[in-house]
Structure 1
Amino acid sequence: MSPTVVIIGGGYGGCATAKALDAVADVVLVEPKDAFFHTVGALRATVNPEFMPQVFFPYEGLLANGQVVRDRAVHVEPGVVTLASGKEMNADYLVLATGSSYPFPAKHDLDDTAAARAKYRQAHDDLATAEHVLLLGGGPVGLEFAGEIKAVWPRKKVVIVDPVADILSEYESELREEVRRQLAELGVQLVLGSPLQEDPPTAPGERGTFHVTTDSDVEITGDIWFRCFGVVPNTAFLAGALADARWEDGRVAVTDTLQVKGQSSVFCLGDSTDVAEQKRASAAIRHSEVVAANIKALITGEGELTTYQPGPPAILLPLGPNAGASQMPGQGVLGAEVTARYKGADMMTERFREMLFGTGTA
C-alpha cells in the first residue's frame, strides 16, 4: 500500500506537488473549482475576451495515477480532512496549498468555469464603456492592470491611487524609474502618498460615475473602479493543532523545510505560508519542489530533508503585451522587449500548461 498524500488546493503549488508525487504515493488533490485558473493571465483575460480560454486548464491529464476530488476542505487536522460533502479522508501526509484570495479581477472566487468566464466577460464589457478608470493600489497588480487597460483602450483615462509615496519600493530605483516612464508614456496618472478620503459609492467593478477626493485634495472622476490590493490567505479551515500554527492574519507558520511548525507530516506552500518573500506563482512552484522532495524522503527514509531559501527580489511586470519592465537575479533591470519575451506575449500560458498538464518541464 502506498502512503496517502492529500493536497488541499489545486493552484500552482498544489498541482506541481501532486504531479511530482503521483508515481510514489496515493495522491488525492482536493479542489472545488472545475478547472485550474492561470491567475498570471487574469488581467489580460479581463481586457481581451479572446484570451480568456487560455487561462482555464481542465484538471484532466494532471495525474496519471492519483485523483482530483472536486470538493472543499472545511475542517482539517493533522492526518484528517473533512470535506464540505461530509466525506472524511485520512492522510499519511498532508499538503496545505490553498493559496490566497484577492479582489476581482486579479483572482475570482467562483468554482464553475462558465460562471467565472461570464463574470470576466461582464467586467470587460463594463470597462469597454467606461471613460475614466480608477485603480486603488499601486502594487504590481494595479500597475499591470493599468497597462493592460491602456493596451486595449489607449484613450481611456486611468488613474492609480495609493497611500504609499512610491511604487515598487522593494525593488531597485532603476526599475521604478523605468515603470514610471512607461506609465507616463501610456498616459496613466499616478496619485501617490495620499489615500482617498472615502471609497467610491459604487461597488468595485460597477459602472457608475462618481467623484472622489484624496486626503491631499486631489479630485478624481471615475466611471468604474477596482480594488488592486488585499491578499487574504485561505486557511480558515484549519483546526486543532494546525489552527495553533495559524497567525492572526491567516498565514501559516512553517519551518525552513516547509513543514508546518510542530508537525512532521504536514506541509504548507505558496501564498498561505509565513515565508518572507513576494507571493508569486514562481515561488509556489519552488515551494512545491521542496515539499515533494521532503515527502519522498520521508516515504523512502532516504536522504536529508531539503530546506527552502527565499530568493532575492524579482519581478516580471508586463504593462500590456508589448510593454513592461523586470528585475531578475543576475540580470538586473530589463526593459519592455525582454519582459514581453518572458511574460508579456502570452502571460506564460503555454509554459505553465506544459509544466503542470503536459509532459514537459518548465
Structure 2
Amino acid sequence: MAHIVVIGGGPYGGTVANRLQKTGAKITLISRSEKALLLPAMIRLPFHKDPSRVSVELKDILNPNIELMIDQVVNVDESQVDLGAHDPVSFDRLVIATGAVWDDPIAPHKYQQNGIQEYAKEVAGLGEKANNIVLVGGGALGVELAGEYAYHFPKKSITLIHSEKKLLDASAIDKVRDSVESQLRGLKVKLILGKKAEIRGQSVFVDGEEVPCDYLIKTTGPKANPPVSSIKGLVNEKNEIIISSKFQAECNPKIYAIGDVTNYPKRGLVSRENWLSIITHNLNEDIKGTSNYRTVDWPKQGVKSKSTFAVSVGPEGGAGQYILPFGCAFSLPRFAVVKAKSSTLFYSKLNSMFI
C-alpha cells in the first residue's frame, strides 16, 4: 500500500487528505496545530474574539482512517519527514500545504504558539488601545482590514497607505477598485494613494512627513512558509516551493505542493476547487502508475490576469468580479458580495470546506 504524507492541516491540506482516501493509499496528515484555521475569517477575530468562528478541530473534519500527527516538522528529505516529538515518517508521495506567514492581526504561526484565545485577546487589545491605526499596503488584505477597523471603531483614525494610485492590483477591474475606494472613504478611512510608506520601527513616514500612528499594521502580503528541508532546488529565492502546472515540485515529482507555499502566481480560495481537483487527480494517477495528468493554467510572467474574487469592506460592504470564458469580466453587485462573503467571511462553510 502506498503511503501519502500531507504536511499542513488547513483548507488545502485537510481537504487533500480527505479526498486521497479514495486512492486506497495510507494517508498521514502532519500539522503543528490540532485546529484547522480559515484565514479569510481571521480579519474579524480582533472584534468578535470567538475562536469557533475562525477554526475547527482537525479530528472533527478528517476521515477517521487518516492518521493525524500533531508535531513540528524539523526536516524534509527525499524520502522521509523528520519530526520534533515522533519518529521519522517515510513516504511514497508527499504533499506540502503549509501556506504562508502573515503579520498581525492574522498571524497563524503566533496563534499556533500561544493559543487562539490568547492571540485573539492580544490583537483585540492592540486595536482597542490605539487612536491612530495605520495600514501599509492596499491589496485585498489591507482593504478588508481597513474596512473592519473603520466599521467597528468609527471614532478612531484609520489610515490606509498604498503605493499604487488605485487600491487592489491590476487583477481587479477599475469598477471594483473604484468601488472599494468609495466604500472606504464612506467609512471615513483616510487614503494615501500613489505614495510609498517609509517604516522606521513603529513610525510611518510619507514624503518625509510622519503619519500619526500608534498601531501599525503591515498588509504588504504574505511570505511562503515551507517546512525546513534539505532537498536542493525545492524553493526559489522567495522561499516558495517551485512547482509545475501539475502541482509537482520541479526538483522531485514525488513531492506535490499547493496553496500560498508555492510559486503559483494566483492566490485565494475562489479557484480552490479546481486546484484541489487537479492535485488529487494527479496523485491518484501517480499512485496507479498511469499518466493521464491534468494541468493548471499558468499566468504569463509579469502579466496580472483578471480573476474571479470578492473583497469585503466591513460586514456590510464589499465588491467583487466574475470572469466569464474568454476573459470577459463584470462586477458583482454589492449585496451579492455581502451575502456570499462579507457577512460571515465563509466561517459558516468552514466544516464543509474539507469535503
TM-score normalised per structure 1: 0.88
CA shift at 1:173, angstroms?
0.8
Identity of aligned residues (%): 21
CA shift at 1:302, angstroms?
4.6
Q: Which residue of 2 aligns with 1:275?
A: 264
Q: Which residue of 2 aligns with 1:224?
A: 215
Q: Which residue of 1 aligns with 2:351?
A: 353
2:288 is aligned with 1:294: no
Give the counterpart of 2:309 among 311, 315, 318: 315
CA 1:285–1:239 in 2, change beyond 3 Å: closer, same or farther?
A: farther
CA shift at 1:193, angstroms?
2.3
CA contact (8 A) 1:127 1:224 kept: yes
Q: Which residue of 2 aligns with 1:123?
A: 123
Q: Which amino acid aligns with 1:323?
A: G
CA 1:198–1:21 in 2, change beyond 3 Å: closer, same or farther?
A: closer
CA 1:156–1:52 in 2, change beyond 3 Å: closer, same or farther?
A: farther
Q: CA RMSD in A?
A: 2.1
**1:81-132 deviation digits (Å, cap 9, x = unpaired):** 1112252111011111111111121232136487222122222133123222
2:320 is aligned with 1:326: yes
Question: Which structure 2 residues correspond to residues 151-190 of structure 1 after superposition, within 5 A?
Answer: 151-170=151-170, 171-190=172-191
**1:205-246 deviation digits (Å, cap 9, x = unpaired):** xxxxx6x4312x454212212111242111251223xx3131
Q: Which residue of 2 aligns with 1:92?
A: 92
Tell which deviates more after alignment, 79-88 or 310-319.
310-319
CA 1:159–1:324 in 2, change beyond 3 Å: closer, same or farther?
A: same
CA distance in 2, matches of 1:197, 1:76: 38
CA contact (8 A) 1:133 1:223 kept: yes
CA distance in 1, matches of 2:112, 2:262: 27
Q: Which amino acid aligns with 1:142?
A: G
2:193 is aligned with 1:192: yes
CA distance in 1, matches of 2:352, 2:112: 23
Aligned length: 342
Q: Which residue of 1 aligns with 2:140?
A: 140
CA distance in 2, matches of 1:355, 1:77: 30
Q: Which amino acid aligns with 1:196?
A: A
CA distance in 1, matches of 2:287, 2:72: 26
CA distance in 2, matches of 1:300, 1:111: 39
CA 1:334–1:194 in 2, change beyond 3 Å: closer, same or farther?
A: same
Secondary structure of 2:293's aligned partner: coil
CA contact (8 A) 1:293 1:306 kept: yes
CA contact (8 A) 1:22 1:64 kept: no
Hey, which bits of structure 1, 4+ residues long, moved more than 3 A? 110-114, 281-286
- What stretches of structure 1 of length at least 5 have no aligned partner? 203-209
TM-score normalised per structure 2: 0.90
Q: Which amino acid aligns with 1:274?
A: N
CA contact (8 A) 1:12 1:281 kept: no
CA distance in 1, matches of 2:79, 2:35: 26
Q: Which amino acid aligns with 1:178?
A: S
CA contact (8 A) 1:236 1:250 kept: no
Q: Which residue of 1 aligns with 2:338?
A: 340
Q: Which residue of 2 aligns with 1:41?
A: 41
Q: Which residue of 2 aligns with 1:207?
A: none
Q: Which amino acid aligns with 2:211?
A: I
Q: Which amino acid aligns with 1:84?
A: G
CA contact (8 A) 2:321 2:330 kept: yes
CA 1:149–1:13 in 2, change beyond 3 Å: closer, same or farther?
A: same
- What stretches of structure 2 of length at least 5 have no aligned partner? 299-304
CA contact (8 A) 1:39 1:107 kept: no
CA contact (8 A) 1:5 1:28 kept: yes
CA shift at 1:144, angstroms?
0.2
Q: Which residue of 2 aligns with 1:254?
A: 243
Q: Which residue of 2 aligns with 1:205?
A: none
CA 1:218–1:333 in 2, change beyond 3 Å: closer, same or farther?
A: farther
CA shift at 1:352, angstroms?
2.9
CA contact (8 A) 1:133 1:159 kept: yes
**1:46-68 deviation digits (Å, cap 9, x = unpaired):** 2222x432112001131221111
CA shift at 1:154, angstroms?
1.8
CA distance in 2, matches of 1:321, 1:269: 29
